[in-house]
């Protein structure tokens, strides 16, 4: 899709679910101590490497986050580390992670034990597979399209790994099969701009 703006994107820091390999989806899990440090670290890195852009985005009130607690806390800690008021950002439901439905809270070995057919189907087509009562990456991308169409300026976004993968497809022409397997690092930022993306830090 044609998109004229820049998105400076951070994924939330680590949670205990991440550490344990559990599917979080839309469960509202807070950051753990490592995740809190990752959130502060990405703020320090961005202040050092992209300080002028951070100041420009702040002047435009262009910070927006998923409403889930792990992304809100990540945004607050990153902003504090950038020398900005921690609470001055908007929330947008469109930026929530995809939901894994009945699989949320399970580890992959538990999914494979409880739903081997579903686990095999997802392994065969990770982008399009929909967990029971959940969402696929393809559905998430459709959810994000109207949000992107409404973006009127460059933004700083705190969100989730699934959202980053969908944005890779929508904004950077990454093949869905590649995006679905992409590692989305915690404690680093992605710049989506000019039809591509690059990692910062």
- Does residue 58 have an active-site annotation? no
**Per-residue model confidence as pLDDT tens digits over 95-129:** 999 999 999 999 999 999 999 999 999 999 999 99
Nearest alpha-carbon partner for 6 in 108, 157, 182: 157
Q: Which of 58, 73, 97, 104 does the annotation list as catalytic?
A: 97
Contact 110, 49 (CB under 8 A): no
d(CA 98, CA 144): 11
What would the mean pLDDT of 165-178 be, rounded to a whole number? 98
Task: Return the DSSP state at 31.
Answer: B
To the nearest whole percent, how much of the chain has pLDDT over 70? 100
Break the chain into its structural domains and give their ranges.
7-200
Measured between alpha carbons, how far apart are the two ends of the chain, in Å?
A: 27
**In the predicted model, is pLDDT for residue 2 greater than 80?**
no
Helices (H), the chain: 16-20, 33-49, 51-59, 69-81, 108-114, 116-124, 137-149, 161-172, 176-179
Residue 20 is among the residues annotated as catalytic for this protein? no
Question: Would you place residue 173 in the very low, low, confident or very high pLDDT band (cuts 50, 70, 90)?
Answer: very high
Which pLDDT score, from 0 to 100, does residue 1 have? 62
Beta carbons of 125 and 60 less than 8 angstroms apart: no
- Give the distance between the most distant pair of CA atoms in the chain: 51
Does 44 score more than 90 pLDDT? yes
Q: Domain 7-200 in CATH: superfamily?
A: Phosphoglycerate mutase-like (3.40.50.1240)
């Amino acid at each position: 899709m044609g998109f004229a703006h820049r998105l400076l994107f951070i994924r939330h820091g680590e949670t205990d679910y991440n550490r344990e390999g559990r599917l979080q989806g839309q469960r509202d899990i807070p950051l753990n101590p490592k995740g809190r440090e990752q959130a502060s670290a990405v703020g320090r890195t961005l202040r050092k490497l992209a300080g002028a852009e951070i100041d420009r985005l702040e002047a435009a009130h262009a910070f927006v986050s998923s409403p889930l607690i792990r992304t809100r806390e990540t945004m607050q800690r990153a902003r504090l580390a950038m020398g900005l008021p921690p609470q001055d950002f908007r929330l947008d439901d469109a930026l929530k992670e995809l939901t894994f439905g009945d699989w949320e809270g399970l580890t992959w070995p538990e999914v494979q034990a409880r739903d081997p057919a579903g686990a095999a189907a997802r392994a065969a087509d990770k982008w399009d597979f929909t967990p029971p009562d959940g969402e696929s990456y393809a559905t998430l991308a459709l959810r994000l399209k109207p949000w992107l169409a409404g973006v009127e300026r460059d933004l700083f976004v705190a969100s989730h790994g699934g959202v980053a993968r969908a944005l890779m497809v929508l904004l950077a022409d990454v093949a869905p099969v590649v995006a679905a397997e992409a590692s989305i690092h915690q404690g680093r930022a992605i710049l989506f701009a000019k039809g591509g993306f690059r990692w910062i830090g």
